[in-house]
Amino acid sequence: MLILGIESSCDETSAALVADGKRIVSNTVFSQIEIHKKFNGVVPEVASRNHLIKILDVVDEALGGAPLDTVDAVAVTNGPGLLGSLLVGLSTAKAIAFTQSVPLIPVNHIESHMYAPHLTNDIPFPYIALVVSGGHSLILKVDSFQDYELLGTTIDDAAGEAFDKVAKVLGLGYPGGPEIDKAAKNGDPGFMKLPRMLSERREDRYNFSYSGLKTAVAFRMKGMTLDSGTVADVAASFQSAAVAALIEKSLNAIRDTGIKRLVVSGGVAANSCLRSRLDELRGDGIEVYTAELAYCGDNAAMVAGRGYVDFLAGKTGGMKTDAYSRLPLVQKGKRVFG
Ligand code: KG4
Ligand code: ZN
């Protein structure tokens, strides 16, 4: 079954063709990073307008000359994300599905990130999922594609958000994650002693808090001269603390459930420090799967892949499918209690 995936939830306009949820025929991603750089963050209205400008070219490129009637269904991200941006992808998907008389499959953005490691691996269930992006930091116990339980989340900022904010304070570019990753390579992670986040609180075994860490970094930087050496040291210290929390909370979930399998996805899964800590876990007998680098950030291949398993589960939407900006399961500022 050949599915056309469409993704426009934030600042990437993407379309992909994926056969049977696994065989990636194409995956075209237009990133708006250069457009938003000068604002030091994504400007929602600017993002929607640029999705509008690009979406048809991106779909055309993903099709690579294949006629639209070779597509068996259209899968599209319908939330959570920036509402105006989501609507561009959703309207395009609806128009294609309607004119071709094929099913429209609405795809949850988080579930599509969770699917990304499945694109290139055969992963048995159950597993613990760590989803870390610009908007979400989640730990879940996953029993099947359709059956999972949220164990923990951030009580304030998401991991990617913290990378972006600390990069801003350090005068590094946007998006901050890759910039911090790069700068930290020449830095000393022991340079700045940073607080361990929520680690002692029993009720927060799987929850994160990144706002305090970001504030601690900013506070300790007061009066520092920011030469390139100091920037590298602060970046390395922050990154090491941020990644330690991801590992620690994932390990809590692994130990408590006895499920020694961890699947990591989302933009922050591209982080080299996190990936090397995950390698260490592999050495400790934990089965670890990560999304390939090309599928960590937002892309339509993961949407088409997730669309396939949702289609098999009977989850198709009609022309009335709506876009939504927030994930009802996860509310910012609310803890998940185990
Ligand atoms: O999944 P994603 O592309 O979009 C959302 O759904 O949010 O994630 C984007 C986030 C940004 O905050 C970005 O700074 C972060 O992922 N990111 C990284 C790295 N590459 C991207 N964070 C840390 N290290 C990286 N190498
Ligand atoms: Zn995303």
175 lines ligand 1 (CB under 6 A): yes
130 close to 313: Cβ distance less than 8 angstroms: no
pLDDT value at residue 18: 98
For ligand 1, say whether the CB of 157 is within 6 Å of any of its atoms. no
Rounded Cα distance, 101 and 95, in Å: 10
Q: Do domains 2-114+296-312 and 123-290 have the same CATH topology?
A: yes
User: Rounded to two decimals, what is the model's pTM?
Assistant: 0.95
| pLDDT over 60 at 338, yes or no | no
Indicate the pLDDT class of residue 28, thresholds 50, 70 and 90. very high
Paired with 23 in beta bridges are 19
Task: Reply yes or no on whether the pLDDT at 330 is more than 80.
Answer: no
Residue 142 Cβ < 6 Å to ligand 1: no
Say if ligand 1 is within 6 A of residue 80 CB: no
The best mutation among 10, 169, 268, 295 to test binding of ligand 1, ranked by most ligand atoms within 8 Å of the C-beta, falls on: 268
pLDDT digits (tens, 9 = 90+) for 197-236: 766 677 789 999 999 899 999 999 999 999 999 999 999 9
CATH of 123-290, one of 3.40.50.1470, 3.30.70.890, 3.30.420.40, 3.40.1280.10: 3.30.420.40
What is the spatial distance between Cα 99 and Cα 118, in angstroms, rounded to a whole number?
Answer: 30
Q: Among the atoms of ligand 1, which is closest to the Cα of residue 81?
A: 6
Instruction: Please write the tens of the pLDDT for every residue from 263-295.
Output: 999 999 999 999 999 999 999 999 999 999 999
177-190 tens-digit pLDDT: 999 999 999 999 99
- In the block, tokens 């499920």 appear at 259
Per CATH, the number for 2-114+296-312 is 3.30.420.40
Mutation pick for ligand 1 pocket among 133, 181, 290 (CB with most ligand atoms within 8 Å): 133
Q: CA angle 262-308-265, nearest 5°?
A: 25
Q: If you search the block for the tokens 């963050």, which residue do you land on?
A: 41
**Best of 138, 163, 169 for a ligand 1 pocket test (most atoms within 8 Å of beta carbon):** 163
Centre of ligand 1 from the C-alpha of residue 176, in Å? 8
> Domain boundaries in the chain?
2-114+296-312, 123-290
